[in-house]
Amino acid sequence: MDPVWDPMWLAVRYLLDRACCRARAALDGNPESGALTLEWLVIAGILVGAAALTATFLRSKISEWEGKIP
């Protein structure tokens, strides 16, 4: 599958783009830009890591199960 259209890649790319955008806004110094704290960055990183691990695990299991189908 083309990585450009892979749903997991699109979701991860969207989350990374949002994090970069929010980080730029927070580092801009504008008090109305909204708060971006280290806790939220850690939580986002954990969620992205967990989603990537789950997708990798499920992809391997599905391939394994497909091999068992006669």
How large a percentage of the chain has pLDDT more than 90?
Answer: 10
Any idea what the Cα angle at residue 68 is, between residues 66 and 70, rounded to 5°? Answer: 95
pTM for this predicted structure: 0.47
Domain count, the chain: 1
Domain of residue 50 covers 7-68
Q: What's the pLDDT band for 32 if we cut at 50, 70, 90?
A: low
Q: Are 12 and 52 in contact (CB under 8 A)?
A: yes
Q: What's the pLDDT band for 36 if we cut at 50, 70, 90?
A: low
Residue 35, domain member (yes or no):
yes
Any idea what the Cα angle at residue 12 is, between residues 20 and 66, rounded to 5°? Answer: 170
4 compared with 64, residue with greater pLDDT? 64
3 compared with 27, residue with greater pLDDT? 27
Residue 61, domain member (yes or no):
yes
Residue 1, domain member (yes or no):
no
Q: What is the pLDDT of residue 3?
A: 57
Residue 56, domain member (yes or no):
yes
